[in-house]
Each structure stands twice: as structure tokens, then as C-alpha cells.
Chain A
Amino acid sequence: MTAPILVFGWGNPSRGDDALGPLFVERIAALGLPDVECLTDFQLQVEHALDLVDRRRVLFVDASVAAAAPFTLSPLQPARDASFSTHAITPEAVMQVYIDLQDEPPPPCTLLALRGERFELGAGLSPAAADHLEAALAWVRNWL
């Protein structure tokens, strides 16, 4: 049976603060919550629309160089955006693909953007990003 809540983080764990999304999801997974499914990937792709099927709500989690520290939250709306790159499409575009494939509205989705500082290959998490991760984990307990 599909868990009603999906937490989906993305990023490259070997690229410094790009690991924030997957690390956040790892920590949630360790809680072993029965109603929560945790998924990670390197980037969002169109087939992730299928991971939204039968969910009550979804939390997308990514590192961001633009977000205010420690993190920002935004409710998401489906958007047929003209993303020039399908190397990594936006969460809004994933929601739109869901509508096109399933012919119904997607579940409510929220974006958690964790502020990151450095993204070099082989770098670990920066001290600031580690603080942002803890702050987001403290927040998410209520959301879940």
C-alpha cells in the first residue's frame, strides 16, 4: 500500500551542500514513520510524477543557493513551464506532468528549499548547511 505522505529529496551526495536534500530524507527515513515514504534521486525527472500517485501530500526537498537561511517553504502549483532543460525539471513541472498523465489534480505539494553554500565535488557539508539541515528537521516534525 502506498504511504500517504511522500518526502522527496534530490541532489548529489558527493557535491558538498548539494547533499542537503538526500541527507534530510535519510534522517526522516531513520524515524521509521509508517505513513511516510522517503525517496531520493540526483535530480527531478518526468517519471517522478508517478511517485505522486495516491499521496495525500508531498514535501519536495532541495538545496538552494537562492533561499534565505536556514530554509524557505513554498506551496507549489502545477506549471506547464518551458523548462529548457530536462536534465532537471522543476517540481512544478513534475506536478503538471502528473496532471497530463493521470488526468486529475496532483496532491498538495510543498517545496522545502535548504540554503546551501558550496557544491564542489568531494566536499562535505558546510557548517552553515549542517545548521540549516538541523533547523529544517526541527520544523518538519510538526509537518509530518
Chain B
Amino acid sequence: MAFALETAPHPEQLKRVAIDPLSRVEGHGKVTLLLDDDNRVQQVRLHIVEFRGFEKFIEGRPYWEVPVMVQRLCGICPVSHHLAAAKAMDQMLGVTLTPTAEKIRRLMHYGQILQSHALHFFHLSSPDLLFGFDADVATRNVVGVIAAQPQTAKKGVLLRKYGQEVIRMTAGKRVHGTGAIPGGVNKSLTAEERAALLAEIYQIVAWSREAVHLIKGLFEQHLEQFNAFGRFSAHTLGLVRADGAMDLYHGGLRARSSSGSTLFDHFDTGRYWEVISEDVKSWSYMKFPFFKSLGNSAAGWYRVGPLTRVTQCDFIPTPLADRERQDFLAFDGGSAAGATLGYHWARMIEMLHAAEAIKDLLHDDDIVGTELMATGRRQERGVGVIEAPRGTLIHHYRVDENDQVIRANLIVSTTHNNQAMNEAIRVVALQYLDGKELTEGLLNHIEVAIRAFDPCLSCATHALGQMPLEVELLGADGAALDRVTRDMRGVCRRDAVPASLP
């Protein structure tokens, strides 16, 4: 079943515009717009053009290698994959973690949430939010933020740096850490490490709170635009603790319909396939997950991530973040809680929660404990589910009697949000592009909508001289009318300029 604007009736008669690859998202993607002769939008698609193939890469490997191997999926969120895989292998080994192991892993996870959310907000999205969606491309970037607002930018850099220090101390290394292992962890914190992190955490909490107020102020300043931009309604999915609290490390699955009714609650993550299925479409390598009870991907698609987690939990178990959550939900009669750009506000509330959670854990003596490993009764299968910075992350493995992985299935956060991102860009295309001449600023509106979800499209390959942004306009006969390439330094090169384009 197709969605409105997913497939145009006569695409061969339309002009095609491709934004390829998207800039300031993690990984590579492409958006194509098909326009008729009056520049009216007829078809909009977000394509994922790189085949990940990571599940096959893992098959045949011994299970204990997996938590380290999967970090190579992504240069931005390796800790999430590390922990989801370790949780799956815990289940496969039939263990319940020691208090020290669980708290060290939580510390690592909250460090990851803190650094990833800081990177996203201050470095990827704040240029759009602070300068405007169609501001001069020469300043609409992180270096522009540093030049215009050095104190804000410096706090962003230091927040990210602190999160990475937490990761380094809990995982052993800043990149490709090995801290979480099947059945526990291989280190706890030393007294010196604990003291070093404690010395800075109160400043980190204060800066995180300022960041919440920064995005709240931007919402107040641009209320109408921010509330309406790419707005759509969707079902939602996320983990919650047994008492309904936000829990980004462990919990049961909660799903709500777009009208707010509960579809399932506290569902065992170890049987996720009973409630979630995946659809495929010929034009994207990324699958389209949906709730089985709603029949198909057209009726059952949903969104995940910070906006979902902040709105569907019953409370946040740290006081400052919970107070900000209540303000967020009450703001303008609840309008921001349904806005696509509400993701940014929710993300900053989560960053504050992560900072508070780190503070609480640093005061807990279990983090310097020595009981690191647990043992249990071996199972054939393990499922690890975690709330990664971008949303629910599922790792599912089967391991044979030789301890080799024989099947792996990964449903990453961005896959859950696939249809939601397509919905957002279709709304934005109608709101801002329909019937207009295309400019770089207008095309950036599409990217702003996608960045709100903080997608991680495939991840972490690059080489000097690559990663251009290419925008291509094709005529109805397929001939290239215009092509603009923007390189890593932001230098644009235009190959041909038709009279109809600015």
C-alpha cells in the first residue's frame, strides 16, 4: 500500500530533484523530489542508498567478539551497539548482572546519550535553529555557530567532551572500548576516575539545563513556524521502566496509537517479533517496521526517539529533567509535544536527564565495586534492546553449540523512524516547496526535517575528497538541467544554470 506523495502516477513526465547525499546527518542518504511543470510536488522519497550488510558480517563470529565488532557499525553511536549486543549476550548466557556491572554500563550509556545529544544539538542542528533554515550557507554550520556565539558553542564542545570522558573511563578507550562483555564488565571506576568526573558533573548539569532553556526560548521566539514545521501524527514505541518511568537502558516495550490509546505496555523485549514486523520497498534498502496488530506498514508505522520517550513515559526519574518535561508537555497547550522540531527540545531534556543520572551514579559506591561478572545457564538466543540516542535499538542473535553466531538481526533506531521521516519531508515539501522555484535554502528545509530525527543512515566510512552534496534537477526526458555540487569546504560548483532557476 502506498502513501500520499510516495509514488506519482506518471513519474516519467516529471522533473526530478535529488539531494544526494544529505548533509549534517550521520551517514549517507538521498532525497528525490518529482515536480510537474508548475513546480508542484508530486512525489517525495527518502532513499537509503548504502547497503549495510552488517548482520552477514557478524555471522560465524564467536559470540564474545560481537559487542566489540558491532561498534564498527557507527562512528557516532558505537556505545549503543556495544551495549545492545552485550545485553543480548547476557540473555544468551542466562545471567543477571551484578549491581556494579549494571551501574557501570548505565554510566557508559548516559555518557553516550550526553555526548551524542550535545553533538546533534550544538553541532548539527543549532546552525539551522539559530540562524534560520535558509540563512547563508557560508555561516549555517558549526564553525559559524562558534564564530557568532562562542560561549554557546564552547559549552557544546565541552559537554560532548565530558560524555566521551565518561565513555573512556567506563569502556577503557575513547573509541572501540571493550568495557561491556557478555555477563558483565571488565572494569569498574577507580577512585581517581570517579573524583575526576565528579569534579565537573555539576557544571555539566547546569549547562545541560541551559541548553533546555535555549531550545525552549527558540520555540517561544518562532512559535508558529516551529510548531507547524513538518508536523504529522504517528503511533509511538519506546522502552519504559516497570513503574512507567523513563529508562534508557532497560525496560519493557510501550506502544501508543496516534490518538494516545495504549497498544501494548511493558511487553517483554525478548519477544519483540510478536508485536513488530518489517516491510520492504523496492526503492530503499532500509526496511519499514510496523505494529503487527495494525496489519501492515501503511497502518502500523510508528516513530521512536527522544520525542516519543519524553512524551510517553509517565515521569523522568531525575528532578530537573522531570520539571522540564512537565513544562514541555504544558507549553502552548501541548503543541510542542507533537511538533517535529519538538525532537530537539525533547533531546535536550534527555541530555539533562543523562547528566543528572551520571551525577547520581557517581555518588553510588557500586561503581567502584569489584564484583564485575555473573554466570548463568546458557541459552540459544539473546535479544538486547536499549534506548539509543536516536531511539529503540534491537540486537537479536542466535548462537550455536560451537559458540558461533548463526543468525543476527539488528533493527536500528533510524529504521524504526523510516516512515516517520518520509512523512515529515512530504509535509515540508508541501509547506515550503510546492509551486516555488527551488533554492538551496528551500532544499535545506527538507534536510532540517530529517535532521530533527538525528538519523544514522549507514555510518562511518569516509575518505578525503569525498562526501560532496549534490543537488540535481532533471527534465521530463531525464536530461540534466542543473547540477550543484557542494564540497567538504562548502564551496559550490554549478555545472549548468537554466534560466528558470535562481
By a beta-carbon cutoff of 8 Å, the part of chain A in contact with chain B is 11-15, 17-18, 39-43, 45-47, 49-50, 62-67, 79-90, 93, 96-97, 100-101, 113, 116, 119, 121-122
State whether B462 touches A18 (Cβ < 8 A): yes
In the complex, chain A residues whose CB is within 8 Å of the CB of B52: 121
Given contacts A13-B176, A43-B460, 7 further A-B contacts (CB under 8 A): A15-B460, A39-B174, A42-B75, A84-B486, A85-B24, A85-B469, A101-B146
Q: Please, how many angstroms separate the alpha-carbon atoms of A80 and B154 in the complex?
A: 16
A80:B175 contact, CB within 8 angstroms? no
Pair A101/B143 contact, Cβ less than 8 Å: no
B488 and A83 contacting across the interface, CB-CB below 8 Å: yes
Are B23 and A84 in touch, CB under 8 angstroms? Answer: yes
Distance to closest chain A CB from B283 (angstroms): 22
In the complex, are the beta carbons of B461 and A84 less than 8 A apart?
no
Neighbour of B75 across the interface among A41, A47, A49, CB < 8 A: A41
Q: Quick one: which of B45-96 are within 8 Å of A by CB?
A: 52-54, 57, 69, 72, 74-76, 78
In the assembled complex, the CB of B163 is this many whole angstroms from the nearest CB of chain A, namely 10
Is B250 interfacial (CB 8 A cutoff)? no
B461 touches A119 (CB 8 A): yes
Q: How far is the CA of A41 from the CA of B72 in the complex (A)?
A: 11
Docked Cα-Cα span, A122 to B461, in Å, equals 12
Which residues of chain B are within 8 angstroms of A47 by Cβ–Cβ distance? 157, 160-161, 164
CB distance from B363 to the nearest CB of A (A): 26
User: Can you list 12 A-B contacts (CB < 8 A)?
Assistant: A42-B175, A42-B460, A63-B463, A82-B490, A84-B137, A84-B486, A84-B488, A86-B141, A87-B24, A100-B147, A100-B150, A101-B154
> Which of A46, A66, A79, A113 lies in contact with B142, CB distance below 8 A?
A46
Say if the beta carbon of B465 comes within 8 Å of chain A: yes
- Contact partner of B464 among A49, A64, A79, A82, CB < 8 A? A64
Please state if B464 and A63 are interface contacts (CB–CB under 8 Å).
Answer: yes
Q: Footprint of A on B, CB under 8 Å?
A: 23-27, 52-54, 57, 69, 72, 74-76, 78, 119, 123-124, 137-139, 141-144, 146-147, 150, 153-154, 156-157, 160-161, 164, 174-176, 460-467, 469, 486, 488-491
The binding surface of chain A is classed by DSSP as loop
B74 to A, closest residue via Cβ: A42
If A46-B123, A64-B465 touch, whether A83 touches B75 (CB-CB below 8 Å) is no
B141 contacts A84, C-beta separation under 8 Å:
yes
Chain B residues whose CB sits within 8 angstroms of the CB of A49 once the complex forms: 157
User: What is the chain B residue whose CB lies nearest that of A119?
Assistant: B461
Residues of B within 8 A of A12 (CB): 72, 75, 460-462
A121 close to B54 (CB less than 8 A): yes
Instruction: Please state if B146 and A97 are interface contacts (CB–CB under 8 Å).
Output: yes
Say whether B141 contacts A62, CB under 8 Å: no
With contacts A83-B489, A84-B23, A87-B24 known, is A65 near B466, CB below 8 A? yes
Asked if B490 and A81 sit within 8 Å, CB to CB, the answer is yes
Instruction: Known A43-B75, A82-B138, A101-B154; judge A87-B26 contact (CB<8 A).
Output: yes
Q: Which of B57, B146, B150 has the most CB of A within 10 A?
A: B146
Contact of B141 among A65, A83, A119 (CB under 8 A): A83
Which residues from chain B contact A64 at a C-beta distance below 8 Å? 463-465
Q: Which residue of B lies closest to A42 (CB)?
A: B75
Q: Return chain B residues, CB-CB under 8 Å to A39.
A: 174
CB distance A81 to B143 under 8 Å?
yes
Is the CB–CB distance between A100 and B153 below 8 Å?
Answer: yes
A90 touches B489 (CB 8 A): yes
Q: Of B26, B52, B142, which is in contact with the most chain A CB atoms at under 10 Å from its CB? A: B142
Q: Are A82 and B141 in contact (CB under 8 A)?
A: yes
Give the distance to chain B from A20, nearest Cβ to Cβ, in Å: 9
Within the complex, which residue of B25, B156, B175 is in contact with A40, where a contact is CB–CB below 8 Å? B175
Specify the chain A residue showing the minimal Cβ separation from B139.
A82
Residue of A nearest to B118 (CB): A47
Closest residue of A by beta carbon distance from B163: A47
From B53, B76, B466, contact of A121 by CB (8 A): B53
Task: Tell me, rounded to whole Å, the shortest Cβ–Cβ distance linking A40 to chain B.
Answer: 6
Least Cβ–Cβ distance between B457 and chain A, in angstroms = 10
- Tell me, rounded to whole Å, the shortest Cβ–Cβ distance linking B432 to chain A: 19
Partner pick for B143 among A14, A65, A96, CB 8 A cutoff = A96
Asked if A43 contacts B462 (CB within 8 A), the reply is yes
Q: A63-B463, A66-B465, A97-B157 are in contact. Are A86 and B75 (CB under 8 A)?
A: no
List the 5 shortest-distance A-B pairs measured between CB atoms, nearest first.
Answer: A82-B490, A42-B75, A66-B465, A64-B464, A14-B72
The reply to whether A97 and B143 contact each other, CB–CB distance below 8 Å, is yes
- Are B464 and A67 interface neighbours, CB within 8 A? yes
Known: A12-B460, A121-B54. A81 touches B157 (CB 8 A): no
Query: Given B78, B142, B150, B174, which contacts A86 in the complex, CB threshold below 8 Å?
Result: B142
Q: Roughly how many angstroms separate A17 CA and B463 CA in the complex, as a whole number?
A: 9
